[in-house]
Amino acid sequence: MKALVWTAPRQMELQEQTVPEVKPDEVLVKVAFAGICGSELSGYLGHNALRVPPLVMGHEFSGEIASLGSTANTKYPHLVQGQKVTVNPLSCTDGSLMQQRGLDQLCPTRQLLGAHRPGAYAEYVTVPAQSVMSLPDDMSLRLGALTEPVGCAVRIGELAGSVAGKTCLIIGAGPIGLLSLQVLLYLQAAKVFIVDLDPERLAMGVELGGQPIDPRRQDVVEVVRQATKNRGVELAIDAVGTADTRQQCVSAAMPTGTVILSGLHEESSVMPAADIIRREIVVRGSFAYSPANFAAAIDLLAQGKIRLDPWIVEAPLADGGKWFDRLIDAPGNVSKVLLSP
């Protein structure tokens, strides 16, 4: 089979590899579409310790079941050959306290497909059978490949709590920012400001219902303050992850407001602790998704409540390296790149 292998910072090679052998508790998936994630962009640059070359990345994908291991075939009778599926790429099997609470993404021994084991930038990939999720018969594989990033946005919405009738702010109009915008509006937020340096991505946010703030020409915090009669927003989401964007979210939040940190661009940054204390701002992280969030993402996509069209690009696996470079250097009006083996 063909596989796209990350061999060194900013280097991808299309290689011939043996189709992986299916273990008893695994499923072999014939990949249809595999998306490029922001965390993989940082890995591609060599900025992510989780990913070590040579590696087949790819953890947001869809495909069809090619075969099942002997145990999987018996234990999961609802999974059959030829079935359309997506896969929760985070697996946890040690029965940790977090897993018992339904928070597999916080399990200390969690493993990520495309990091701890070969991922979906290949014609075939083996995955734990317990992680395989059936797609509705009428859902396209193209749409099903968006389940993983939508799951991240569902988790953000869950942590945000009740946003009905509230004013919110999202900094970053990449895929997670755009999907979170739609989740908040689905949850009946009254107004959601969207911020991005790229005018084309900002325009996507506008089309999806966001109120744009252009940080190249406007002071983000000042615009929010003026629009809220100097009160601030009830919820601010940082989908970028720099010292500046984290600071802006805190400054834009109202007293007792909530700031959710999702972006991981910078591993660490100075936070305005005194301001957080004096205004009793709630700051919390949002990492990936729970199994329940992942299942909810499929439902939202099936209902047509979430989209990234018409800004999705489909590209052959062989062009993966070119698209990694494009997304890093100048993403423009591209919301998601789906690679097809």
139 & 158 share domain:
no
C-alpha 16/C-alpha 48 separation (Å) is 26
The confidence score (pLDDT) of residue 49 equals: 79
The answer for residues whose C-beta is within 8 angstroms of residue 253's C-beta and 6 or more apart is 169, 232, 233, 234, 235, 236, 259, 279, 281
pTM (two decimals): 0.95
Query: What is the longest distance spanned by two Cα atoms in the chain?
Result: 63
The answer to whether residue 300 sits within a structural domain is: no
Paired tokens of 129? 């059978």
Q: Which two tokens stand for residue 137?
A: 């018969």
Residue 267 is predicted with a pLDDT of 86
pLDDT of 265 reads 87
CATH code of the domain covering residue 218:
3.40.50.720
Type of residue numbered 2: K
CATH number at residue 79: 3.90.180.10
Question: pLDDT at position 224, please?
Answer: 98
Note whether residue 173 is domain-resident. Answer: yes
> Is residue 299 one of the residues assigned to a domain?
no
Tell me, yes or no, whether 165 and 268 share the same domain.
Answer: yes
CA–chain centroid gap for 75, Å, is 29
- Cβ contact 220:252 at 8 Å: yes
Residue 129's pLDDT is: 96
| Amino acid found at 27 | V
Instruction: Tell me which residue range forms the domain holding 181.
Output: 153-285
Q: Are 324 and 47 in contact (CB under 8 A)?
A: no
Answer yes or no: do 141 and 9 share one domain: yes
**30 and 59 housed in the same domain:** yes
**How many domains does the chain divide into?**
2
Walk along the chain (341 residues) in steps of 10 and give the mean pLDDT of each run: 96 97 97 95 87 96 97 94 97 86 92 96 97 96 98 98 98 97 98 97 98 97 97 98 97 98 92 97 97 97 96 97 94 95 94
What's 150's DSSP letter?
H
E strand map for the chain: 2-8, 11-16, 26-35, 60-68, 84-87, 90-91, 111-112, 124-128, 132-134, 167-171, 191-195, 211-213, 233-238, 253-261, 282-285, 312-316, 336-340
Q: For helices 199-207 and 175-186, give the axis angle rounded to 10 degrees.
A: 20
For 252, the token pair is: 């834009």
The values of phi and psi at residue 82, to 5°, are 90, -5
